[in-house]
Amino acid sequence: MSDERNGVFGPEAVEAMGHAFDLACVRLGESDSKLREAIAFKIVSAARGGESDPNRLCERALASDKAVA
């Protein structure tokens, strides 16, 4: 059992977050480590909020990225 709100994720959530991160990095075409770190943080935050779809996790991370960059 996973408890995403406390930062403990089950295998399915980890897989979804990894896929979302890969999607975001490909779409950004960026290799900047600070940007990649920010994207990862935003994906984890969205997953903690209950999102589990990799495409929506990616979209949320990229949408919020514009406000940070």
Grouped pLDDT means (10 residues each) for the chain, 69 residues: 65 96 89 89 94 96 64
Q: What is the pTM of this model?
A: 0.80
Token pair listed for 4: 């995403």
Rounded CA-CA distance 19/58 in Å is: 8
Residues in the chain: 69
Residue 68 pLDDT: 45
**Cα 3 from Cα 22, distance rounded (Å):** 23
Q: Is 51 left (phi over 0), alpha (psi -120 to 50) or beta?
A: beta
